[in-house]
Structure 1
Amino acid sequence: MSTTQESPITLLDPTSPPRPAPGCDVCAALEKQRAGYERRENTRQATDCEVEMRNHPKHSGSTS
């Protein structure tokens, strides 16, 4: 039985948008669309872009 404390878990901030994967044109386009929707206060469409960016194959493995 261990008596030492485990390291804390670091979770991503779900309220901050993901960063585009470096060099990925798809992620860059999604970020541009997301920012436009956010400026127009269209939260639903902005969130859809964020979800699509997080699920994009080139985005996996990069930090959000």
Structure 2
Amino acid sequence: MSSEQTTMSGPVHLSLPSPPPDPVSGCLECLGIAVTRANARSVGDHSKATDANVVLRTHLREDHGAE
């Protein structure tokens, strides 16, 4: 007989996704990314909207010091 375990050891706990980042008021780059995200959402392109969130988070961290 084999003693190899064939079942999971316990439940997997997933958290809710982070809320979408907010653009900084008065920043044209933030505005452009937010418009791209809104356009993607309006046509149901959730992949492109998610990509815009990543770009916005990176921009916020690098150019606005957000964490």
Measured after TM superposition, the shift of residue 60 of structure 1 is 3.2
Q: Deviations over 1:4-62 (max 9, x none)?
A: xxxxxxxxx61x32110222111100000100100101000000001000001224327
Aligned length: 49
Equivalent residue, structure 2, for 1:5:
none
Equivalent residue, structure 1, for 2:4:
none
Equivalent residues of 1:53, 1:59 under 8 A apart: no
The percentage of aligned residue pairs carrying the same residue is 31
Q: Which has the higher contact order (CA 8 A, sep 6+)?
A: 1
Q: Which of structures 1 and 2 has the bigger CA Rg?
A: 2
Q: Which runs of 5+ in 1 are unaligned?
A: 1-12
Equivalent residue, structure 2, for 1:58:
63
Distance 2:29 2:21 in 1: 13
Structure 1 residues 59 and 34: alpha-carbon distance in aligned structure 2, compared to 1, 3 A threshold: farther
- Alignment of 1:33 with 2:36, yes or no, is yes
Match of 2:37, as an amino acid?
R
Instruction: Say what the alpha-carbon RMSD is for the aligned residues.
Output: 1.7
Q: TM-score, normalised by structure 1?
A: 0.66
Equivalent residue, structure 1, for 2:3:
none
